Structures are given as C-alpha cells and as structure tokens.
Amino acid sequence: MRSEKEMMNLILLFAKEDERIRVVGMNGSRVNQNVPRDDFQDYDIVYVVTDMLSFIEDDKWIDYFGERIILQKPEAMSLYPAELGNWFSYLMLLEDDIRLDLMLIPLEELDFYLNDDSLTEILLDKDQRVNQTLSPSDRDYHVKKPSNTCFDDCCNEFWWVCTYVAKGLCRNELIYANDHFEKIVREELLRMLAWKVGIETNFSVSVGKSYKYLVEFVDEKVWEQIISTYKLDTIAACWQSLFTAQQLFRVLSSNVAKQHGYAYPEYDEMVSKYIKKLYQNHS
C-alpha cells in the first residue's frame, strides 16, 4: 500500500500538470481531526475543472492513479439515478488496497462546493480563486436537536412500522419482517439514540455515517441491547428483537421528550398491546 504522502503527491502532481484542473480540495475523514487514522480511510478528492466533458468522454486519465480492483461511476449508472447535478465522481478501489473517491466539479460551481461541506480543505488553488479561509470541521455532521415535530415523526414512524414487522412475523414472512425492521424500525431507533447522545454532549459531536460512532457515547448495557436486536435469523429471534427495540425506544424517547419538554405519544401503549396480542395468538 502506498503511503499517504505518496498518494497526496500523486494526486497533486496530476492536478499541477493538467491545465484543466484549477482547484484541488479534500473532504471526508482525512480532514477530520476527530477521526482516528487507519488504512481504510478513503481519499475524498475534488478536482474543480474547466471542460468537464473532456474528462468524462475519455476517462483513461484515471489510470494514472494505479490499477483498479473495481470502479464505480455513480453519475453514469441507470439503476441508481444521479443526485449530484453537474458533478461527476469516480469511486476507485486500487490494487494496493487504497480507496480513492475522485470527484469532478465544474469551475463555475466552485463557490457552491466551498460552502457545501464544513469538512473541506483546499490543497491547491492555481488562480487564487478561494478568497475565504477554510478550517475543516465536522460541525455540519453534529447531531442536531430535534424539533417537536421531528421528534413526533420519529416516534410515529417507529411505532407504525413495528406493526408491519409484527404482521410479517405472524405470516411467517421473515424477509418482509426483517426488511421493515432493518430499513425503518432500526433507523428510527438509532436516530432516537443519537438524539439522546446529542443531549448528553450539548449537540457538539458527530455519531458518524450510519451511526458508526454511537458505540463511543452509549453505556455498555444499552449497547448490548442494540447489538442483540441484530439477531433476526428466525421468527422467534425477530420477535425478541422487536420487543427489545420497543423497550429501548420507549426509554430513549421518553428521556428525549422529558429533556426537551415534548409530549411522549400515547399510542405507544395501544400499539404495544396490539403487537403483544398478535404475538400471543401466533406463537
């Protein structure tokens, strides 16, 4: 594996030698001082360029960075529609295990890029176009205090979709039940847990993409409960995970409601009774 110094020299040398590239930026964990370094960190690089089309029409230029295990061009895919407008990205896993996420941004959208992400560092500015001083920070990713409406929406979605999970289990439709549990019930559970962490840290921390840093902020007992809900391989296990998730969500959301002066929804009790009845009738 090439060293960070070797990769950064390669990235900058390519940019310096190509007149179409006017600004080079870096985003992500490598500019986040709060994230420990490891070999799995991506190089999230941005080339702000003139003549975007010339890069996209002939992308042999990316061979410069090394042989690839796999390449993905999200903005060129049909199954997953592009979401970045005029921006274009190359996601590369290189043969020496380095992950390079290289994005092209048209020069006329430089100002938008500079204000899009607080984790931005400018590595090269050929024309001194960047007038502002950027201090990379993860502030854009800090847990945000929920409004009353957002809190209630989270509760409503959690308890509503719990009934779908229960319905699937009653029908012995394990995949259906798991799909709703993983995509929705778990998401709202982790969202509520993140809000609790936010309260405890004065909303000054990030819990990371996919809540990956939550483990650093919750006590061992809660974490064990969370991990136990990942056992979903049988109908019986899924029922138990659902009940554990409900119990934990109730405690977390009641705490968040109390701290912010929000009303905790009464339908928890009715939904819980309904799901318990289904369980008793179909187990």
Q: How far apart are the first and last CA of the chain?
A: 53
**pLDDT (0 to 100) of residue 123:** 95
Alpha-carbon distance of 203 to 216, in angstroms, equals 15
pLDDT at 178: 97
Q: Are 45 and 24 in contact (CB under 8 A)?
A: yes
Tokens (6 digits) for 129: 């176009």
Co-location of 119 and 155 in the same domain:
no
Q: Considering 140, 165, 199, which residue would you say is the last residue of a domain?
A: 140
CATH number at residue 258: 1.20.120.330
Pick the closest to residue 208 from 217, 200, 199 (CA basis): 217
Question: DSSP letters along 66-103, please?
Answer: --EEEEE-GGG-SSS---STT-EEEEEEETTS-EEEEE
* CATH number of domain containing 25: 3.30.460.10
Phi then psi dihedrals of residue 143, to 5 deg: -60, 130
- Domain end, chosen from 105, 140, 175, is at 140
What pTM was estimated for this model as a whole? 0.84
Sign, Cα dihedral of 108, 112, 114, 116: negative
Q: Same domain for 134 and 167?
A: no
184, 190, 194, 200: CA torsion to nearest 10: 140
pLDDT at 195: 97
**What pLDDT does 71 receive?**
96
- Residue 61 structural domain: 4-140
Q: Which residues pair with 102 in a beta bridge?
A: 45, 90
- Are 179 and 70 part of one and the same domain? no
**Are 170 and 134 within one domain?**
no
State which of 108, 140, 172 marks the end of a domain. Answer: 140
Is 209 in the same domain as 104?
A: no
CB 48 within 8 A of CB 110: yes
Question: Which among 146, 145, 163 is positioned nearest to 154, based on CA atoms?
Answer: 146
Distance CA 281, CA 77 (A): 47
Co-location of 169 and 121 in the same domain? no
**153 in the same domain as 133:** no
> What's the pLDDT score for residue 239?
97
The C-alpha angle 269, 234, 272, rounded to 5 degrees, equals 5
The tens-digit pLDDT sequence of the chain (283 residues) is: 899 999 999 999 999 999 999 999 999 888 888 888 888 889 999 999 999 999 999 999 999 999 999 999 999 988 887 777 789 999 999 999 999 999 999 999 999 999 888 889 999 999 999 987 777 877 888 999 999 999 999 999 999 999 999 999 999 999 999 999 999 999 999 999 999 999 999 999 999 999 999 999 999 999 999 999 999 999 999 999 999 999 999 999 999 999 999 999 999 999 999 999 999 998 7
User: In this structure, are 104 and 192 located in the same domain?
Assistant: no
- Note whether 19 and 77 are same-domain residues: yes
Statement to judge: residues 102 and 84 lie in one domain: yes
Rounded to an integer, what distance in angstroms lies between the CA atom of residue 161 and that of residue 245?
A: 12
* H or E, element range at 242: helix 235-260
Domain count for the chain, please give it.
Answer: 2
Residues 241 and 278 in one domain: yes
Locate all alpha helices (DSSP H) within 81-234, ordered by sequence: 110-114, 148-170, 174-180, 186-200, 220-228
Q: How far, CA to CA in Å, does 269 sit from each of 27, 211, 235, 241, 246?
A: 45, 28, 23, 18, 11
Same domain flag for 246 and 173: yes
